[in-house]
Structure 1
Amino acid sequence: MMRVIAGKARRIQLKTIPGMDTRPTTDRIKETLFNILQPELYRTHFLDLFSGSGAIGIEALSRGCEMAVFVENNRQAVSCIRDNLKCTKLSEHAVVIEKDVYTALQILESEGKCFDIVFMDPPYNCFHEKKVLERLSSSSLIHKDTLIVVEASLETDFSYIESYGYNIVREKAYKTNKHIFLRIK
């Protein structure tokens, strides 16, 4: 069972969808991630792409993020996100978009949205992170100080990153996956 680790929704249990379509980030990895993100979180706008159960965006909201947008295509996962937002009492600070990530990015751009932190946990080894990073590199959705965090398998290649105009500011490897922290050059 997953839970919110810290902040106003601390210890509240979160629902996950059954099966292997989503890989919930373990509490230990989530805690490490948020120890890194904590100084950046207060009053930020957070974009959670490939949201799954919404646990990452909900953790950000619980820890002081002002607004989070959750993007998820799987209907069951979207229902899970909405339930989790309701039980953590964080719904009023959240927007859930039930679309594929590329359509959602287009919608958010047309609405003039801009984010301080973008987190993505796409299906592993499908190259979605590469396509999304390429799209974001010329997007109004991010600004010069936006922190982009990608959760990926250990073998995911990020050698192209500088050619897309990003710098890797930090990399954290775990047993089965890694987080790459990026900013625009």
Structure 2
Amino acid sequence: MRVIAGRLGGRRLQAPPGEGTRPTSDRVREALFSALGPLDGEAVLDLYAGSGALAIEALSRGAGTAVLVERDPRAVAVIRRNLEGLGLAGEDVRVRRRDALKALQNAREAGETYDLVFIDPPYRLAAGLGPQLASALAGVLRPDARVVGESDRRHVLELPGLTTTFERRYGDTLLRIHTA
């Protein structure tokens, strides 16, 4: 796995061990970031961050800040190694070890807002998480914010209340971009 483009393009990323984390493939990330376009200074929130590849790709392509949320301690360790190895560990990049819904609640309480949110939950849980995530997102999205949902085409991550502006399938992966 590698960073596809931007200032860190071509650099290698580690993935968490085991079957619990399924990193977004290079092909899907490339298609996603082509659809997103420029990320000039955007504030990014990466829920279910896994290896951190989505947030790292966003930072490589010009995003200004990123918060990566992951509850698995092994994945958090890999995220931290990836960030340190790429020289991204610092004030503009934070890693939070906690549940995604709790992280959204904490962000709302702290008054944090984001331009771009990645949601890539375990595929088997995606269909059941959508309504809760959509509700929790309401307090952290900036005007014109975009929310990227990745799920299995058989277990779709539905985010009620958000408008789907982009949808593509890549094998079994369904990728959607939403706006508030």
TM-score (norm 1): 0.90
Distance in structure 2 (CA, Å) of the matches to 1:111 and 1:28: 35
The list of structure 1 runs, each at least 4 consecutive aligned residues, that deviate by more than 6 angstroms after superposition, is: none
Residue 51 of structure 1 aligns with an amino acid whose one-letter code is A
Task: Report the counterpart of residue 133 of structure 2 in structure 1.
Answer: 132
8 A Cα contact 1:154 1:173, kept in partner: yes
Q: Which amino acid aligns with 2:153?
A: L
C-alpha separation between the residues in 2 aligned to 1:9 and 1:171?
Answer: 27
Could you say which residue in structure 2 is the equivalent of 1:83? Answer: 81
* CA 1:122–1:73: 2 relative to 1, 3 Å: same
Please name the residue that 2:153 is paired with.
Answer: 154
Contact preservation (8 Å) 1:122, 1:129: no
Map of 1:72 onto structure 2: 70
- Structure-2 residue corresponding to 1:31: 30
User: CA deviation digits over 1:67-105, x for unaligned, max 9?
Assistant: 010000000000000000011111122110001111111
Which residue number in structure 2 is paired with residue 123 of structure 1?
Answer: 122
Matched residue, 1:172 = 168
User: Who is 1:7 aligned against?
Assistant: 6
Distance in 1 separating the partners of 2:156 and 2:87: 38
Query: TM-score, normalized by length of structure 2?
Result: 0.93
Shift of 1:125: 3.0
Whether the 8 Å contact between 1:48 and 1:57 is mirrored in structure 2 is yes
Q: Deviations over 1:39-81 (max 9, x none)?
A: 3x11000000000000100000011000010000000000000
**Letter matched to residue 83 of structure 2:** L
Q: Percent identity?
A: 37
Structure 1: where are the runs of 5+ without partners?
Answer: none
- Alpha-carbon separation, structure 2, partners of 1:62 and 1:49: 18
Q: CA deviation at 1:147?
A: 0.3
Q: Distance between the aligned counterparts of 2:13 and 2:167, measured in 1? A: 27
SS at match of 1:91: coil
Q: CA RMSD in A?
A: 1.4
Residue 182 of structure 1 corresponds to 178
Which AA in structure 2 matches 1:181?
I
Q: Deviations over 1:98-138 (max 9, x none)?
A: 011111112111221100000110011322233211221x3
Query: 1:48–1:119: 8 Å Cα contact kept in structure 2?
Result: yes
Q: Once the 2 structures are TM-superposed, how far is the Cα of residue 156 of structure 1 from its aligned partner?
A: 3.0
Structure 2: gaps spanning 5 or more residues: none
Cα deviation for residue 143 of structure 1 reads 2.4
Contact 2:156 2:174 (8 Å CA) reproduced: no
Structure 2 CA distance for partners of 1:157 and 1:80, relative to 1, 3 Å: closer
